[in-house]
């Protein structure tokens, strides 16, 4: 076998390996994307159920000789705000799950004469799909994380708000400041991680 023939065979083998790895990567991305969508949908359902429970509780309050206004305080207001934020981010995470795969019209219109050319064209397309899917999966993951963080903080403020209503004391100003710092720090850490990943990705592509 001549040297040129060996190089040609090596090139074919490498192209085949690239194609196999690309398929494996895209399949994994699709599994992760589907898993993220499922998590976001379940989280959205849970948040909406919690919101419905709150409105139901407000409708029951008058029947126990209590006033809804008694439960209106800063912690409960923050809890409701965080719950709405958790609903929005969960919905964004669920709706943003776009998956890119399959050959495009332009590729079908291009004349491909050999199997090697087809492999190379597929590898190039897979490269684009992997890049787009990675951005979508990453965005979904962070939106879901934001939603969970806000829901956890919502529970903290709600528990404190209800206990403050029952005890008749809503606490001091600095206690609210402390709770808000905890909430913002969680969102800040997640945002920093997200934009650090995006910045690193930009550096790698340039």
Each residue's pLDDT tens digit, 192-203: 666 655 555 554
Contact status, residue 165 vs residue 73, Cβ threshold 8 Å: yes
Q: Residue 55: is it exposed, middle or buried by C-beta count within 10 angstroms (0-12/13-18/19+)? A: exposed
Cβ–Cβ under 8 Å, residues 154 and 82: yes
Whole-angstrom Cα distance, residue 128 to residue 103?
11
Q: Are 17 and 118 in contact (CB under 8 A)?
A: no
pLDDT in tens, 11-37: 666 666 777 777 787 788 788 888 888
Phi, psi (degrees; rounded to nearest 5) at 134: -60, -45
pLDDT in tens, 90-134: 998 888 766 555 555 555 555 555 666 666 777 777 777 777 778
């Amino acid at each position: 076998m001549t040297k040129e023939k060996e190089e040609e065979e090596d090139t074919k083998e490498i192209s085949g390996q690239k194609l196999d790895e690309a398929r494996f990567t895209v399949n994994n991305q699709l599994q992760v994307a589907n898993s993220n969508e499922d998590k976001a949908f379940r989280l959205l359902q849970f948040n909406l159920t919690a919101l419905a429970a709150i409105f139901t509780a407000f409708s029951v309050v008058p029947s126990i000789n209590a006033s809804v206004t008694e439960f209106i305080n800063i912690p409960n207001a923050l809890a409701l705000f965080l719950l709405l934020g958790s609903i929005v981010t969960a919905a964004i995470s669920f709706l943003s799950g776009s998956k890119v795969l399959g050959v495009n019209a332009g590729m079908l219109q291009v004349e491909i004469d050999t199997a090697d050319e087809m492999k190379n064209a597929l590898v190039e397309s897979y490269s684009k799909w992997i890049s787009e899917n990675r951005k979508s999966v990453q965005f979904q993951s962070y939106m879901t994380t934001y939603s969970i963080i806000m829901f956890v903080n919502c529970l903290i403020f709600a528990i404190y708000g209800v206990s403050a209503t029952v005890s008749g004391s809503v606490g001091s100003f600095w206690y609210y400041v402390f709770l808000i710092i905890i909430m913002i720090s969680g969102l800040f850490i997640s945002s920093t991680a997200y934009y650090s990943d995006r910045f690193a990705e930009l550096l790698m592509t340039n």
